[in-house]
Amino acid sequence: MAKEGDSPSWFKWTEGVIGPPVAHTAGWVGVFSCAVLAYVLQSLGYFSRNVAVVLIAAGFCNPFAITREIVARRKRNF
Q: How far apart are CA 31 and CA 29, in angstroms?
A: 5
Supply the pLDDT for residue 78. 66
The C-alpha angle with vertex 35 and arms to 53 and 47, in degrees rounded to 5, equals 50
Ranges under pLDDT 70 in the chain:
1-18, 78
- Global confidence as pTM: 0.67
Supply the pLDDT for residue 72. 81
Supply the pLDDT for residue 10. 55
Supply the pLDDT for residue 2. 47
Q: How far apart are CA 17 and CA 13, in angstroms?
A: 8
Supply the pLDDT for residue 9. 57
